[in-house]
Structures are given as structure tokens and as C-alpha cells.
Amino acid sequence: MKTIILLFFVSTFAFCQDINHIKTLDTVYVAFTKGKNQEKKVYSDNFREYTLSLNSKKENRTEQLIFSKPDRKNSMTEKGFLRIDTRIENKSFLKKHQKDIIDLDFLKNFTEEYIVCELLSRSQTFYIIDLTEKKKRKVVLYSVFLLNYCPIGE
């Protein structure tokens, strides 16, 4: 009986593992749980930086993905629509969008260059789902920017 409950719990919170699906998304959700290879820095109420360390190394340094939430109030986009930088959603959001959510375990299978240049190159919007700040069946999503860039070769 315990095995069935454990399998049900694990399967309900498993995130996307389909590379082709992620490549087609215009909005990608990145699950953040504070751990060994994940770091969150909060500089002020509105400025945050999330660092995900990958398994791969390049020139004796560990490759990292850095996402940043800028310090700004909600602002208008270039098309005149209100852009909300922080959202609070019910936990059912995780189940509804589980195919659109990736986590560090998924990203560790790839190099930084592949992630930035291939996997996330088409995506326009990134949200960090900060699972360290969940309260009473609610999760917090922050609109962030990917600070990594795709190197241009000669």
C-alpha cells in the first residue's frame, strides 16, 4: 500500500521530459527547489537571481544557467499590455502545466550551450516556479530573464 501511495505522489509531480515539446514552447516554466546545485539570491524585494549549476564543465568551470528577475514595478509591454512580473497560482497549476515545466534534473542532461542555443532559443518568456515559497496550496511564479547567451563562432 505504501508503494502505491509513493508512486502516485511521485508521478503527480513529475515534470516534462520531452525535448521536442520544450523546443516549441513560447513560455517555459523552470521549477526551483533550493538544493545543492541551485542557489537563490534576493537583493531587494523585487530583484532576485536564480542560479542552476549543471553537471557539465567547460574550461575548468561548472556551467550554470542564470535567471534574473529585475527590480521594477509591473510595466507595460511594447504592445501596450500589462506585464505582471509576479504571479501567485494554485498548486493545480503544476498539474495543468506539468508538460511545460522543466527542472534541474532535466537540464543536467545537457550542456549550457545546447540549452541556451537549441532548447530555450525559441522561448520568449521564462517563469521561475519558486517552490521554496509555497504557502497554503499556492505557488509563486516570477517572470525572469535568462542571462546566458549563445556564443557566436567564426
* 7 band by pLDDT with thresholds 50, 70 and 90: very low
Q: How far is CA 109 from the centre of its chain?
A: 15
Domain ranges of the chain: 15-72+84-146
Return the higher-pLDDT residue of 55 and 120.
120
The residues, any chain, with a CB within 8 Å of residue 79's CB and separated by 6 or more, are: none
Amino acid letter, residue 61: R
Computed over every residue of the chain, the mean pLDDT equals 79
What is the rounded CA–CA span in Å between residue 47 and residue 45? 6
| 47 phi and psi angles, rounded to 5 deg | -105, 120
Whether 6 has a pLDDT exceeding 80, the answer reads no
**pLDDT tens sequence across 123-147:** 778 999 999 988 888 999 988 988 8
The mean pLDDT value for 15-26 works out to 79
pLDDT given for residue 29 in this prediction: 93
64-117 pLDDT, tens digit per residue, is 898 998 766 555 445 555 566 788 899 999 999 999 999 999 988 888 888 888
In 3D space, the residue among 53, 72, 50 whose CA is nearest the CA of residue 63 turns out to be 53
Contacts of 121-126 with CB under 8 Å at 24 or more apart are: 121/150, 122/23, 122/24, 122/25, 122/26, 123/25, 123/26, 123/27, 123/28, 124/26, 124/27, 125/26, 125/27, 125/28, 126/27, 126/28, 126/29, 126/30, 126/67
